[in-house]
């Protein structure tokens, strides 16, 4: 029960619903047992003695009892459902909130489909047990306690004989639980992998089709689906072996009643009505015993789901606000790296090695280098997406971990290479980082990003609803909206991570013209592969294998004859070739 103890804070506040449901369940069980008692009285004190006059009153009493039972059952099931639904509402919110604050390091190894599976199927599996599983377990206890109490009253010897099979049933149940729990945990994991395959395929459908890999993706999904199927068949095999066994052991009581109970009636040690009541009671007992396997099934699924949910809830957030973190309303934008080293989880090679530089407020810093050289890693340390393994990053003379995450990141506008847009209006996407922004601010930001003209050409302008991940816009249009979003934030530090890679050179030039105005008074970091995007920077840092190998202005670096010059010559040669082909 450790899993349920760890998740106690989510359902215990609603224990009044649970206890109300349990009290009503006890009431329902007591009323249910009244039926065989009425039947026994009818046979032994009515039919056997020939006193038929008050039998109609017994029938009316029975009808009244059943009406009360129906009403109590309705309220009991409703409060039980409400207990489970309310509990997982809080749990689902906490899980989603936790995912918002987990570090990038966690998402580096997480699978989207698996996380979606946890927030949907696993949460529902846990809820189902809260709503029904606990109830079934207690119904089992209540029913057996009440029924055996009445049975002992009628005949101690027959009751003891009926209980012969219970130890064997307990052993079968124990062995069943030992096998079924790991089986269901495997099913949950396999289902998560299946979800991941579907999510990745849908997200990357353009790549799949462009490379004619439909067959490969289908085969990959079929392999995951086959694993899921095999695990379900294996679980069904366990269920098929143990469920009939538990049913057989439960029905041993019926055989005992018919044989030994009949013997007692013949010798006058048990009344016929009492034997009939016994038979009815054993029927009530068999139902929860037979469904005990199903209840354990629910418990095992819920426990497996709970364990997977706890893996998220107990994940280390790592990057959090320090005690007495500073709330900086507006930073000046001075950025300093002092001998900084960064190593990603699971990588033997450091992504950054002894990085040292200083950017004065309002300056433009260019970062260039081959893929994997560490350009983006530098900017991700400023925003504390990751923590350095060595050295320190300072903003305005203070270490970045001295600021609260909210105040730090609200002062940094980040435009990533892959522009992500939400399924909302263009207006909402631009104002996402600053919800209180006025329409004038939104339009100004869009104009600076060269996005206003194409937005106004859309049917609903700024109120145009975008599809998933900005579906309906070109890559360049999405990138310009992402730039407008960063501008609208009015940050002290602006980071452009290859932000114009998806636009043509003419649009890039226009965006750069607009950004020059935006960059005034802000410290700006431009990551680019095109030298044209950063040649006007106040300082350019050239990176190779996580180290700064050159630094200086555009003209100075061209005179050095180093890596920067080689990059420039390659790009210049490519541009010349393009121009010749166009004019040729």
pLDDT, tens digit (0-9, with 9 covering 90-100), for 530-573? 787 788 899 999 999 999 999 999 988 888 888 888 888 887 76
Per-residue pLDDT at 575: 55
Between 167 and 124, the more confident residue is: 124
Q: Is 459 exposed, middle or buried (0-12, 13-18, 19+ CB in 10 A)?
A: exposed
Reported as a single tens digit per residue, the pLDDT across 265-291 is 888 888 888 888 888 888 787 777 767
Specify whether 301 is located in the same domain as 229: yes
Specify whether 295 is located in the same domain as 375: no
Specify whether 272 is located in the same domain as 379: no
Specify whether 272 is located in the same domain as 341: no
Q: Is residue 441 part of a domain?
A: no
pLDDT for 48 beyond 80: no
Specify whether 106 is located in the same domain as 135: yes
* DSSP type of residue 464: P
Percent of the chain residues past pLDDT 90, beyond the cut: 14
Q: Is residue 73 part of a domain?
A: yes
Specify whether 247 is located in the same domain as 351: no
Indicate the SS3 state at residue 103. Answer: coil
pLDDT for 574 beyond 60: no
What average pLDDT score do residues 337-352 get? 87
Per-residue pLDDT at 34: 81
Specify whether 134 is located in the same domain as 50: yes
Distance between CA atoms of 151 and 274, rounded to whole angstroms?
9
Q: Is residue 421 part of a domain?
A: no
Q: Which domain holds residue 145?
A: 2-313
Under 8 Å between Cβ of 293 and 239: yes
Under 8 Å between Cβ of 257 and 282: yes
Specify whether 291 is located in the same domain as 152: yes
Q: Which two tokens stand for residue 256?
A: 């005992």
Distance between CA atoms of 140 and 137, rounded to whole angstroms?
5
Q: Is residue 43 part of a domain?
A: yes
Length reported for the chain: 584
Under 8 Å between Cβ of 2 and 243: no
Reported as a single tens digit per residue, the pLDDT across 461-488 is 999 888 766 667 877 788 888 888 888 8
Indicate the SS3 state at residue 473. Answer: coil
Specify whether 343 is located in the same domain as 263: no
pLDDT for 361 beyond 70: yes
pLDDT for 336 beyond 90: yes
Percent of the chain residues past pLDDT 70, beyond the cut: 91
Q: Is residue 429 part of a domain?
A: no
**Of the candidates 61, 115, 126, 62, which has an alpha carbon nearest to the alpha carbon of residue 90?**
126
Per-residue pLDDT at 334: 93
Task: Compute φ and ψ for 181, nearest 5 degrees.
Answer: -65, -55
Boundary-marking domain end, from 263, 285, 313: 313
Reported as a single tens digit per residue, the pLDDT across 167-220 is 777 777 777 777 877 887 788 788 878 877 787 777 666 667 655 677 888 888
pLDDT for 440 beyond 80: yes
Distance between CA atoms of 400 and 123, rounded to whole angstroms?
36
Domain count, the chain: 2
Mean pLDDT score of the chain: 83
Under 8 Å between Cβ of 293 and 240: no
Q: Which residues pair with 336 in a beta bridge?
A: 358, 394
Q: Is residue 56 part of a domain?
A: yes
Enclosing H/E stretch for 365: strand 364-369
Q: Is residue 377 part of a domain?
A: yes
Reported as a single tens digit per residue, the pLDDT across 53-111 is 777 877 787 788 888 888 988 998 899 889 988 988 889 899 888 888 888 888 877 77
CATH, residue 292: 1.20.1560.10
Specify whether 264 is located in the same domain as 337: no
Q: Is residue 208 part of a domain?
A: yes
Reported as a single tens digit per residue, the pLDDT across 125-143 is 888 888 887 788 888 888 8
CA distances for 243 relative to 297, 382, 517, angstroms: 11, 59, 74
Residue 259 neighbours by CB distance under 10 Å: 10
DSSP letter for each residue of 394-444: EETTEEGGGB-HHHHHTTEEEE-SS----SSBHHHHHTTT-TT--HHHHHH
pLDDT for 578 beyond 60: no
The two counts, helices (H) then strands (E), for the chain are 24, 10
Q: Which residues pair with 366 in a beta bridge?
A: 526, 540
What average pLDDT score do residues 413-442 get? 86
Task: Compute φ and ψ for 553, nearest 5 degrees.
Answer: -80, 170
CATH, residue 391: 3.40.50.300
């Amino acid at each position: 029960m450790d899993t349920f103890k760890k998740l106690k804070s989510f359902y215990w506040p609603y224990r009044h619903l649970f206890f109300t449901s349990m009290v009503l369940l006890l009431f329902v069980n007591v009323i249910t047992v009244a039926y065989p008692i009425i039947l026994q009285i009818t046979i032994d004190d009515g039919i056997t003695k020939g006193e038929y006059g008050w039998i109609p009153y017994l029938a009316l009493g029975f009808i009244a009892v059943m009406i009360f039972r129906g009403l109590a059952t309705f309220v009991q099931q409703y409060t039980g459902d409400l207990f489970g639904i309310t509990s997982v509402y809080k749990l689902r919110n906490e899980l989603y909130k936790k995912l918002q604050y987990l570090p990038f390091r966690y998402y580096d190894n997480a699978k989207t489909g698996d996380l979606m599976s946890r927030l949907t199927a696993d949460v529902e599996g846990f809820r189902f047990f809260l709503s029904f599983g606990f109830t079934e377990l207690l119904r089992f206890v209540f029913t057996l306690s009440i029924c055996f109490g009445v049975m002992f009253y009628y005949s101690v010897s027959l009751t003891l004989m009926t209980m012969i099979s219970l130890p064997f049933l307990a052993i079968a149940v124990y062995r069943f639980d030992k096998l079924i729990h790991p089986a269901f945990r495997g099913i949950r994991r396999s289902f998560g992998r299946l979800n991941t395959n579907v999510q990745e395929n849908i997200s990357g459908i353009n790549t799949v089709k462009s490379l004619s890999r439909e067959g490969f993706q289908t085969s990959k999904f079929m392999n995951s689906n086959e694993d899921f199927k095999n695990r379900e068949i294996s679980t069904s095999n366990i269920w098929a072996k143990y469920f009939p066994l538990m049913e057989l052991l439960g029905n041993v009581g019926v055989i005992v009643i018919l044989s030994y109970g009949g013997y007692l009636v013949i010798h006058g040690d048990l009344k016929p009505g009492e034997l009939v009541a016994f038979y009815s009671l054993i029927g009530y007992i068999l139902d929860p015993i037979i469904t005990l396997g199903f209840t354990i099934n629910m418990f095992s699924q819920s426990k497996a789901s709970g364990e997977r949910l706890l893996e998220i809830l107990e994940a280390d957030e790592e990057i959090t606000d320090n005690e007495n973190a500073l709330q900086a309303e507006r930073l000046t934008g001075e950025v300093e790296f002092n001998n900084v080293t960064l190593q990603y989880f699971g990588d033997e090679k450091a992504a950054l090695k002894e990085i040292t530089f200083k950017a004065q407020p309002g300056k433009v810093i260019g970062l260039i280098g081959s893929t994997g050289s560490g350009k983006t890693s530098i900017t991700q340390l400023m925003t504390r997406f990751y923590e350095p393994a060595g050295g320190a990053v300072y903003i305005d003379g203070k270490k970045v971990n001295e600021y609260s995450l909210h105040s730090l990141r609200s002062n940094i506008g980040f435009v990533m290479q892959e522009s992500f847009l939400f399924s909302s209006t263009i207006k909402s996407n631009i104002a996402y980082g600053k919800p209180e922004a006025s329409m004038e601010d939104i339009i100004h930001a869009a104009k600076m990003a060269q996005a206003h003209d194409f937005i106004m050409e859309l049917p609903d302008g700024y109120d145009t609803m975008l599809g998933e991940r900005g579906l309906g816009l070109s890559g360049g249009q999405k990138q310009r909206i992402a730039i407008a979003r960063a501008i609208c934030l009015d940050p002290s530090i602006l980071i452009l991570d290859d932000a114009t890679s998806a636009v043509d050179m003419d649009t890039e030039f226009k965006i750069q013209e607009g950004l020059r105005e935006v960059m005034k008074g802000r410290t700006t970091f431009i990551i680019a592969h095109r030298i044209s995007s950063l040649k006007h920077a106040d300082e350019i840092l050239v990176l190779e294998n996580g180290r700064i190998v050159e630094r200086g202005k555009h003209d100075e670096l061209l005179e050095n004859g180093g890596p920067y010059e080689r990059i420039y010559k390659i790009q210049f040669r490519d541009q010349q070739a393009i121009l010749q082909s166009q004019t040729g």
